[in-house]
Amino acid sequence: MIEAIRNQARLLLENGDVDVVIGYAEGSDPSRTTPIFIRKAEDVEKLIYDPRCINSLPLYLNKRHEYTRKGWKKTAIIGKGCDIRAIVQLIAENQLKRDEIYILGVPCEGVVSHPEKWDGSLHDGNRASKCIGCDVMTPHETDFFPGDKPDVDRSTPYEATSKNVATLMELELDKRFAFWRTDFDRCFKCYACREVCPHCSCNTCITDETTPSWIDPAAHKKGVFSWHLTRAMHLVGRCTGCGECTRACPMGIQVDLFNQRMKEVVQESYSYKPGYSLEDKHPLITYKVDDREDFIK
Maximum CA extent, the chain:
66
Residue among 1, 190, 202, 278 that touches other proteins (CB under 8 A): 190
Q: Which phi and psi (to 5°) does residue 262 adopt?
A: -70, -30
Backbone torsion region of residue 77, taken as left when φ is above 0, otherwise alpha when ψ lies between -120 and 50, otherwise beta: beta
Say whether residue 208 binds other proteins (CB under 8 A): yes
Query: Which of the stretches 3-11, 101-109, 140-148, 209-217 binds other proteins when contact is defined by CB under 8 A?
Result: 209-217
Q: 19-48: which residues touch other proteins (CB under 8 A)? A: 27-30, 32-37, 39-40
Nearest approach in angstroms of CB 297 to other proteins is 4
Q: Write the binding mask 156 to 175 for other proteins: x where contact by CB under 8 A, - elsewhere.
A: ------xxx--xxx---xxx
**Which region holds residue 203: left if phi is over 0, alpha if psi is between -120 and 50, else beta?**
alpha
Subset of residues 95 to 154 that bind other proteins, contact rule: CB under 8 A: 113-114, 116, 124-129
Q: What is the footprint of other proteins within residues 267-286 (CB under 8 A)?
A: 269-270, 283-285
- 29 Cβ partners below 8 Å, 6+ apart? 115
Interior angle at CA 156, CA 151 and CA 160, nearest 5 = 130
Burial of residue 2 (number of CB atoms within 10 Å: 0-12, 13-18, 19+): middle
Q: From the CB of 160, what's the least distance to other proteins, in Å?
A: 11
Q: Considering beta carbons, is residue 169 or 278 the nearer one to other proteins? A: 169
- Binder among 100, 143, 195, 280 for other proteins (CB under 8 A): 195
Binding piece for other proteins, criterion CB under 8 A, among 5-13, 72-80, 81-89, 182-190:
182-190
Q: How many CA atoms lie within 13 A of 12 on its CB side?
A: 26
Cβ proximity to other proteins: between 24 and 145 the closer is: 24
Q: Which of 191, 267, 277, 280 binds other proteins (CB under 8 A)?
A: 191
If binding is defined by CB under 8 A, does position 65 make contact with other proteins?
yes
Pick from 134, 129, 46, 56: which is nearest to 89 by CA?
A: 56
Amino acid at 2: I
Contacting residue, 106, 239, 248, 255, with other proteins by CB under 8 A: 248
Measured from the CB atom, the residue of 126 and 138 that comes closer to other proteins is 126
- Tell which residue, 29, 122, 36, 138, has the closest CA to residue 77: 36
Q: Which of 133, 202, 250, 281 binds other proteins (CB under 8 A)?
A: 250
Instruction: Check binding of 12 to other proteins (CB under 8 A).
Output: no
Q: How far is the CB of 144 from other proteins (least distance, A)?
A: 23
Stretch near other proteins under the rule CB under 8 A, chosen from 5-13, 76-84, 133-141, 210-218: 210-218
Indicate the helix (H) or strand (E) that contains 178.
helix 173-183
Of 2-10, 83-91, 144-152, 264-272, the window that binds other proteins (rule: CB under 8 A) is 264-272
Q: In angstroms, rounded to a whole number, what is the distance separating the alpha carbons of residues 89 and 96?
A: 9
Alpha carbon distance 24, 57 (integer Å): 9
